[in-house]
Structure 1
Amino acid sequence: MTIRLALLVALILSIAPIVPSIAADNRADRFALVIGNAKYPDAESPLKEPINDARDVADELKRDGFNVEVGENLTGDAMRRAFDRLYGRIKPGSVVLVFFSGFGVQSSRQSYMIPVDAQIWTEPDVRRDGFSLETVLGEINARGAGVKIALIDASRRNPFERRFRSFSAGLAPVIAPNGTLVMYSAALSSVISDNGGDHSLFVQELLKEIRVPDLMAEETLNRTRVGVTRASRSEQVPWISSSLAEDFSFIPGSGARPPSAPPGPMATLPQPAPNPLPPPPRNDPLPPKIEILPPVDKPVEKSEGTQAVALADDPTIKSLTAKLADNPDDQSALYRRGQVYASKGAYNLAIKDFDDSIRLNPKDVEALNNRCWARTVIGDLQAALKDCNEALRLRPNFVDALDSRGLVNLKSGQAKNAVADFDAALRINPRLTSSLYGRGLAKQRSGSISEGDLDISNAKAMDPNIVKEFAGYGVR
């Protein structure tokens, strides 16, 4: 009897070391919400990757012990209900993961996940219809989750950001609670295009690394980052932020750790710093009298060469310039650098980049519209009108180009034509503040003072900064 008791004690002591790891790997307390949004009415065609990616990620997480809910092409109400269900399942110490693939937009230094029915024309619309990643992580943390993971594949060039006068491409850095691991599929404030396949490069590499047993989550994502960067030849560099306070592995194994990813490339990968860019320079509020500044050959700015040197060290411009040094015909990089230059007030530099972008793709209506707007600001009104007309020929009723052409006509003194363009834009989007304010100015100039005053008053109520914005375009 004594011998048997001794053997039993020895057996218990021999297995005791594995008990803590079993408790730490309580898979009943792993919860995931996986969303793939592909069918956005504002996009020219559905995205190819998000649905397949969401399904594959969900299947892998289920195999890893997560209780997974999958949502496809979710509206705002459906996304809200899905997040509420996730919040309701969380227990103290739970592992909670959110995966989102679709369109994302940054606004006020936060990143927003966009539902398929979002009506976004201005930055306030982003905050109204989108779902702030910081808010979601805060809600998860408030319910006691121990490990919080967000995997966001939303750094796509989207139809929303180009409606804003200020620069807003890509995603913003996240300020997350302790115990959080966040990964974006691309660097901060950068955008990528769907690769044309059924799955994104980011998800392909992510799933490859998640399936490695006994790999800590931080290392899983670091290896994913290396894999994406290598496969894309540094065209796509995912961004990671971690404040994990405890170890977590998607697939706990035998304790034998696989070799770490070679550290060399990790140390040299480019990580653009966050670079919220200001709108064009703004002057003091407009006086009641309306004045259109005469056209000028150049805006009031430093010479192009001096300004190019001054902006060369801007992290985003520097990264894009490096890309263009490797491939001068990178149309996406040209278009985006043009956006950055325009938002910095370097309009002539922006126009040069839009020139090259349009040379590579003469049917890029977004680049045509942006060049129209930049040319309008500097007073090159005939060329601007030609650009807007071409954009509208390629895409009739393109609301952004109608708004831009309205500004061209307003600055040209063609008040009736301006009213017609702004009217057309407002029929498509009655909340387009720039068109409402521009129509008010045009009506005043054409003699309809009271109607113009009403438009201006309504526009200022919707956006108190609209007066300063137009002053930055040279309209007084």
Structure 2
Amino acid sequence: MKIRLALLLALIFSVASTASSSAAGDRHALVIGNAKYPDADAPLKEPINDARDVADELKRDGFKLEIGENLTGDAMRRAFDRLYAEIKPGDVALLFFSGYGIQSNRQSYMIPVDAQIWQESDVRRDGISLETVLGEINSRGAGVKIALLDASRRNPYERRFRSFSAGLAPVVAPNGTLVMYSAALSSVVSDSGGDHSLFVQELLKEIRVPDLMAEEALNRTRVGVTRASRQEQIPWISSSLAEDFSFVPGGNPHPAAAIAALPPTEPPPSTASPAPAPSPAPAVNLPTPTAPPKVEVTPPTPTPADKPAGNNPAPAEVALADDPTIKSLTAKIDANPDDINALYRRGQVYVSKGAYKLAIKDFDDTIRLNPKDVEALNNRCWVRTVVGDLQGALKDCNEALRLRPNFVDALDSRGLLNLKAGANKNAITDFDAALKINPRLTSSLYGRGLAKQRNGAIPEGDLDIANARAMDPNIVQEFETYGVR
């Protein structure tokens, strides 16, 4: 009965949200992921996965969406023409592009997969100008214009006419525009070596928070990327928005949002003020260090950057050493064994490859150099949880939360730890605290559902799990790879 009532309420909320969206103008989005550039040594790993994840989220947020993968120049222009034709005065228009970008004559160009670039003038001939796109969208009357470019990559073209990759240029955009690049102006970053970019991982975290204004969501994304990359990657933002805009209006929750999964007697969470600090770490009856739980664990699927995971079997150390990203980071560490940024980043890459022992060693060294490094503590907590070292994991998570009481990733990690330890009430407490900060944190929502089921609250647990699966159909498989079923 509770499930039917919640679904009915979700449907009502959905109708209300649609009506509100229509009154404020429709939402349109074009999402492009370009990965297979013939001039590159190998296809990019991140753009297709990132474009699909962003597209899925925007669909849930009420956008009328078109997604394109590995588009040629003609295909990109046709896609933009279709977007322009849909826009009416007062609408919202959003562009997400992941692939290669190049600046020329102080403009930023998105590069199609069939571009033939041998000199700078070819960039302007074959590339798609961001300023031109935003100008055309504005001419159709769009009230809110948003452009998100994950295109500040080292590319195979600029070496032909420049001695360095120049990154992207500042954009001269019309009023009512919000633009974000994945890296600072005139700077480039290398791909992480994983299947998802750090930029998109952090972006998805923030745009899922109900009632959070778009500018604040992107500012939080910038902080998250900067922190996770140890200031090696600092996104750039430009805004001239003249009206409020939220990806997920808090007053009209999405049918699959975690907020609908709260028990009827609980008030909905608010993101207007910081969440209260969680209570001291609950006592957990964990196994003794000499008898850790025997859990069959396979490498997990990718998750946000502060808790990276991989979907490949743990490779041999020799094979890992040939990975370009690991090789570059190892060279930095060989030159300076106390390079804390390189150690932390290599640890993240090792986790993405399923090399958990090597990852823990790098996080050990990172924490040795800075015992107050909450991101490294959380990463080590999560990896130790996955491999079954629950005593060590609990110590790491507790320390991270002592240093940063509202650290949502550490709350989520400790919730997973408690779930694996069978401490279901404590898991619910941690997942509740995480969801009060980010009500659409799928891992916490699904974990809370499992904990509620195991604690006897079957209908409430079923509803949490149904909502989590609606938000991320792969969440069940992800938890199975953690050894949690």
Q: Structure 2 length as normaliser, TM-score?
A: 0.49
Structure with higher RCO (Cα < 8 A, 6+ apart): 2
